[in-house]
């Protein structure tokens, strides 16, 4: 009989579902510290948590029989994912169970801002009855701008359409068909900012999205626009928001999340044109029940069938399968990373083809690693070969696979092609000595590259002086060139160059390279 430990409070419906399973033994003990959890965890096959329990490497090492950790909710900051991966423990969450609740809170803030509800409530309670002062605005026919078009953003879009709003959205990792399916017009980031009457944020907090709404972005918005953030606090530069609200550059804002929680001492608290809630995105009875029941179902299914729904880390593979596939998986992952850096629009189809010796291993682990390389780092949850196919499907990416033992001139070759709009970018790679990855072509440019460290890829006219100009700029900026390969395409009178450099270049220095006459594109990739 499998044993499950519930160490945080779950909704009664989730507990009832667990108790209904005849082949499970349920033990509930909350409030455990690390030492106490280590003392009892060895007997359990599964651990169900929320945000309080800290599943550390020490706890996982003590969990001799543990097969799965289930987090009721989305965040897994309290779980050591690397240790779980190393020990073969599946970690799963419930990323969509509270999506509706969070989307509805964003809409509630839109209404609250539009009709001055907090101020109106205060006015009545204090006997002021300030009807003329509290003139509001209709939301019908206004433009609802959604930054981030995952599950929550798509629900907001559906609700916005139902309210008669014009819905626009920006997400660089979602295919155009997905926007159309949910009644949203796909726009670029600048258009989103400039046309928004209500800008609501629903993207993950990553290094590249931290302060995605700052001084420059707020300056592009209408003075009548309102900002709503029910996603992550770090998405908004609160100092910039304070200035924008003080100077009436935008009409108002509503925050449920903050750079520091709670936001004690924040100057925003003293403003009249902003409203607050204390991180209530998932705080409804329905959401609490939903995450509890969903994680209970997922964990039971895994224990009974081995199916890992919403898993965040790698499952165990047989030693033989891993040994045979690992070099090709590593190569495919690198190709995916390079492809993401070279393509400008959301990919709607990824083709993975393997040739020669690469066709002797199962293609699915190889193609999923290509997807991992393509999508890793773009979402708030870790992307790996357990969850990447589901993530790709959500983003509207179709995966096409093919394999043949024909060699195409190499003992083994992996070719991946990404399609975005009407453009395709194709890469091919091989292994030297069966384990050393090499990039051997980019589109129709044959170019052998060691894919490691920091690479610059330039596309430029094939004429004298260009390479010298680029080298001179790098040298004068104290950037050492470690490798350089050039390939030409005579029919186009163009060339592609891949340069290994000692340090990443700043955006300013990349622009200097791009300003060199005859240079069309410069891309930087960190591998």
Q: Is the peptide bond before 262 cis (omega within 30 degrees of 0)?
A: yes
Q: Does the annotation mark 279 as catalytic?
A: yes
Q: Which of 166, 279, 297, 364 is catalytic?
A: 279
Record the tokens describing residue 436, joined without a space.
Answer: 């050393």
**Does residue 44 come out as left (phi exceeding 0), alpha (psi in the -120 to 50 range) or beta?**
beta
d(CA 100, CA 514): 44
Q: Does the annotation mark 12 as catalytic?
A: no
Q: Which of 36, 261, 286, 526 is catalytic?
A: 261
d(CA 262, CA 252): 20
Q: Does the annotation mark 330 as catalytic?
A: no
Q: Indicate if the alpha-carbon torsion angle 297, 303, 305, 306 is positive or negative.
A: positive
d(CA 91, CA 501): 37
Buried b (16+ CB within 10 A) or exposed e, 240-270: bbbebbeeebbbbbbbbbbbeeebeebebee
> In sequence order, what DSSP letters do the residues of 306-340 get, joined into one string?
---TTB-SPPP--HHHHHHHHHHHHHHHHHHHHHH
Distances, alpha carbon 277 to alpha carbons 98, 109, 242, 258, 387, in Å: 17, 9, 17, 10, 32
Q: Which of 71, 109, 159, 232 is catalytic?
A: 232
Nearest Cα residue to 447 out of 409, 496, 490: 496
Active-site residues, by number, are: 232, 261, 279
């Amino acid at each position: 009989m499998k044993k499950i430990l519930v160490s945080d409070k779950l909704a009664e419906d989730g507990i009832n579902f667990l108790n209904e399973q005849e082949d499970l033994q349920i033990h509930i003990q909350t409030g455990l510290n690390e030492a106490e959890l280590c003392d009892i965890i060895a007997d359990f096959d599964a651990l169900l948590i929320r945000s309080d329990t800290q599943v550390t490497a020490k706890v996982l090492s003590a969990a001799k029989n543990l097969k799965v950790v289930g987090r009721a909710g989305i965040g897994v900051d309290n779980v050591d994912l690397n240790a779980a991966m190393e020990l073969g423990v599946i970690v799963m969450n419930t990323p969509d169970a509270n999506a509706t609740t969070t989307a509805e809170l964003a809409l509630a803030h839109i209404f609250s801002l539009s009709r001055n509800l907090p101020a109106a409530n205060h006015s009545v309670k204090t006997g002021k009855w300030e009807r003329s002062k509290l003139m509001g605005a209709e939301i019908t026919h206004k433009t609802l701008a959604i930054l981030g078009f995952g599950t929550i953003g798509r629900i907001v879009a559906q609700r916005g359409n139902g309210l008669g709003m014009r819905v626009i959205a920006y997400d660089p990792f979602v295919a155009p068909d997905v926007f159309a399916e949910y009644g949203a017009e796909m726009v670029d980031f600048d258009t989103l900012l400039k046309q928004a009457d209500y800008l609501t944020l629903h993207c993950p907090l990553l290094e590249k999205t931290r302060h995605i709404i700052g001084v420059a972005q707020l300056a592009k918005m209408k003075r009548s626009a309102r900002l709503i953030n029910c996603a992550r606090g770090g998405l908004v530069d609160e100092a910039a928001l304070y200035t924008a609200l003080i100077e009436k550059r935008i009409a108002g804002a509503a925050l449920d999340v903050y750079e520091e929680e709670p936001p004690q001492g924040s100057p925003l608290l003293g403003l009249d044109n902003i409203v607050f809630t204390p991180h209530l995105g998932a705080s409804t009875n329905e959401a609490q029940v939903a995450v509890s029941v969903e994680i209970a179902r997922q964990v039971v299914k895994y224990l009974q069938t081995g199916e890992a729904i919403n898993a965040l880390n790698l499952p165990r593979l047989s030693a033989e399968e891993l040994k045979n596939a690992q070099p090709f998986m590593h190569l495919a992952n690198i190709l995916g990373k390079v492809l993401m850096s070279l393509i400008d629009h959301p990919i709607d189809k990824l083709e993975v083809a393997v040739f020669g010796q690469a066709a002797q291993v199962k293609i699915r682990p190889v193609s999923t690693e290509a997807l991992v390389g393509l999508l890793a780092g773009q979402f708030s949850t870790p992307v790996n070969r357990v969850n990447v196919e589901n993530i790709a499907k959500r983003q509207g990416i179709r995966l096409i696979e093919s394999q043949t033992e024909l060699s195409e001139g190499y003992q083994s070759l992996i070719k991946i092609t990404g399609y975005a709009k009407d453009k395709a970018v194709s890469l091919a790679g091989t292994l030297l000595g069966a384990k050393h990855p090499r990039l051997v072509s980019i589109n129709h440019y044959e170019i052998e590259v060691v894919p490691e460290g920091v690479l610059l890829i330039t596309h430029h006219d094939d004429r004298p002086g260009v390479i010298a100009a680029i080298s001179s700029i790098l040298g004068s900026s104290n950037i050492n060139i470690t490798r350089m390969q050039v390939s030409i395409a005579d029919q186009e009178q163009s060339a592609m160059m891949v340069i290994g450099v000692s340090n990443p270049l700043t955006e300013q220095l990349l622009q200097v390279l791009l300003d060199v006459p005859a240079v069309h594109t410069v891309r930087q990739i960190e591998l």
